Amino acid sequence: MTEFSHRTVLLEETVQALVPDEQVPAGGIYVDGTYGRGGHSDALLKRLDAQARLLVIDKDPQAIAVAQARAANDPRIVCIHGGFGDMRALLDGYGVQAVNGVMMDLGVSSPQLDQAERGFSFMRDGPLDMRMDTSQGQTAAQWLAVASLDEVREVIRDYGEERFALQIAKAIVARREVRPIERTLDLADIVAAAVRTREKGQHPATRTFQAIRIYLNRELEELDRALEAALGLLVQGGRLAVISFHSLEDRRVKQFMQAASRVPAELARLPLREDQLPKPLLSGVKRIRPSATEVAGNPRARSAVLRVAERTGAPLTRGAD
């Protein structure tokens, strides 16, 4: 298997958030919900003691193969092939009911973008696949061949926040009547012809590729489930660290952390004493952006946002799985 380069975004900030310097070396159980090529995991392992465990999850078979190779030399690593939205059930399979930290690096990884055969990039010619887990599910080409005009429009509009969604959908449907859309550059050309104006420095197909990828992999739904699962798994004082790369993801993470760190609005308006109000489930919510130096060295870090929160001792009153 060819190894592709990957520059980990917000590396020091993420591991510092999970295990601050004063706690090194740390014990306990940690979860990397999106292993990728293991940049964050490798750095976190350096801060953990010999008794700690790190459970790494990824739905990409190539990512898990990389993790397994490293686990062969480090007994602290447990490799799990699956989606982080199923975190609770996956950890149950290993007898893990509580953890000290959870990190998630959302979206597509550099190796996935750089491998033309994965179909994620509009800059490289390859089959229109776009599946995170190549062992199952519908490819982008298969979906585009059967989706209705309204379905294509809604996906591109809702998951790509694309104002030209209708024009793009019409162009896709018209083109597939002539011949199937099976290659990445083919789709990119169709979109470019349909979109006459675009933000400076952004390829016309950026939002369309993002939208189809998010939809096919159910990324936002999985993120929602993963956040709830992490909240239910974290021990008091445990940390949650989530890196997002676009507004749809970041908005969900922000709203989730804010809601869990406040008293519900409907209760705050009632004539109750402070000691009668339920305690928030999260505290210390922070937002961290990459430094100018990191962005200069790695342009893919430009849109990254890290949000961090700490689990309080308040009992969980809503379901989390």
Annotated binding site for S-adenosyl-L-methionine: 38-40, 58, 84, 105, 112
37: helix, strand or coil:
coil
What lies within 8 Å, CB to CB, of 239 at 6+ separation is: 17, 18, 100, 101, 102, 308, 309, 310, 311
State which H helix or E strand residue 105 sits in: strand 99-105
Binding residues: 38-40, 58, 84, 105, 112
Q: Tell me which DSSP letter residue 26 carries.
A: B
Cβ atoms within 10 A of the Cβ of 162, count?
Answer: 24
Cβ atoms within 10 A of the Cβ of 70, count?
Answer: 17
Q: What is the DSSP string of 207-245?
A: HHHHHHHHHHTTHHHHHHHHHHHHHHHEEEEEEEEEEE-
Please report, as a single letter, which amino acid is at residue 286. Answer: K
Encoding tokens for residue 113? 């973008």
